[in-house]
Amino acid sequence: MSANEGNTSWDKTVDLLVVGSGSGAMTAALIAHDRGGSALLIEKSELYGGNSAMSGGGLWVPCNHLMPPTGIDDSPEEALGYMKTITRGAVEEDRLRVYVDTAAELVKYLEDNARLEWQSLPEYADYYPETPGGKPGARSIEPQNLDASLLGEEFELMREPALQELIMARISMTVLQARVLMCKTPGWKGLTARLMAGYWFDIGWRMRTKRDRRLALGNALIGRLRLSLMDRGVPLWLNTAARELITEEGRVVGIVAEKEGRTIRIRADKGVVLASGGFEASDELRKKYLPSPTKAEWTCGSTSNTGDAIGMGLAVGATLDLMDDAWWGPVTVVPGEDRARMLVIEKSMPGCIMVDKKGARFVNEAAPYVDVVKGTYEHNSSETQSVPAYMIIDSTYRSKYPFGPLLQASQQPDRRLPKSYTEGYLRKSDTLEGLAEQLGIDAAGLRATIDKMREYARTGKDTDFNRGDSLFDRYYGDAGVTPNACLAPMDKPPYYGIEAFPGDLGTKGGLKTNASAQVVTEAGEPIAGLYAVGNCSASIMGPSYAGAGATIGPAMTFAYIAARHAIAV
- For every residue of 35-55, DSSP letters joined together read TT--EEEE-SSSSB-HHHHHS
Cβ-contact 221, 140 below 8 angstroms = no
Contact 73, 139 (CB under 8 A): no
Tell me: pLDDT of 6 over 60: no
Which residue from 482, 55, 557 is spatially nearest to 301, judged by alpha carbons? 55
Q: What is the pLDDT of residue 2?
A: 45
Please check the confidence at residue 56 and state whether its pLDDT lies above 70.
yes
Is residue 391 within 8 A of residue 353, CB to CB? The reply is yes
pLDDT tens-digit map of 145-184: 999 999 999 999 999 999 999 988 899 999 999 988 888 8
Computed over every residue of the chain, the mean pLDDT equals 96
Q: Which residue type sits at 392?
A: I
- Final residue in a domain of this structure, among 488, 504, 520: 504
122 prior amide bond cis, ω within 30 = no
Task: Please tell me the distance from the alpha carbon of residue 375 to that of residue 108, in angstroms, as a whole number.
Answer: 37
Residue ending a domain, choose from 201, 225, 249: 225
Collapsing DSSP to helix, strand or coil, 348 comes out as helix
Residues 365 and 470 in one domain: yes
Looking only at the bridges linking them, the beta strands covering 320-321 and 510-511 are: antiparallel
Same domain, 462 and 352: yes
- Identify whether residues 189 and 141 lie together within a single domain: yes
- Residue 326: strand pairing partners: 507
Give per-residue pLDDT as tens, 214-250: 999 999 999 999 999 999 999 999 999 999 999 999 9
Same domain, 478 and 359: yes
* Count of alpha carbons within 13 angstroms of residue 385, beta-carbon side: 12
Position 7 pLDDT exceeds 60? no
Q: What is the mean pLDDT of residues 309-336?
A: 98
- CA–CA distance, 112 with 341 (Å, rounded to integer): 35
**What domain range is 333 assigned to?**
328-504
pLDDT (0 to 100) of residue 168: 86
Quick check: helix, strand or coil at residue 534?
A: helix
Q: Would you say residue 3 has pLDDT above 60? A: no
* CATH number of the CATH domain containing 267: 3.50.50.60
Q: Is 1 a residue whose pLDDT tops 50?
A: no
Are 35 and 107 in a shared domain? no
Strands in 459-563 per DSSP E? 495-507, 510-511, 518-520, 526-532
| The pLDDT value given to residue 184 | 81
* Rg over CA atoms, the chain: 23
Instruction: Give the separation between CA 148 and CA 76, rounded to whole angstroms.
Output: 36
163 and 307 together in one domain: no
What pLDDT is attached to residue 183? 82
Question: Does residue 421 sit in helix, strand or coil?
Answer: helix
- Contact present, 280 and 299 (Cβ < 8 Å): yes
Cα first-last separation, the chain: 28
Rounded CA separation 392/449 (Å)? 11
Tell whether 423 and 541 lie within a shared domain.
Answer: no
Q: Does one domain contain both 499 and 564?
A: no
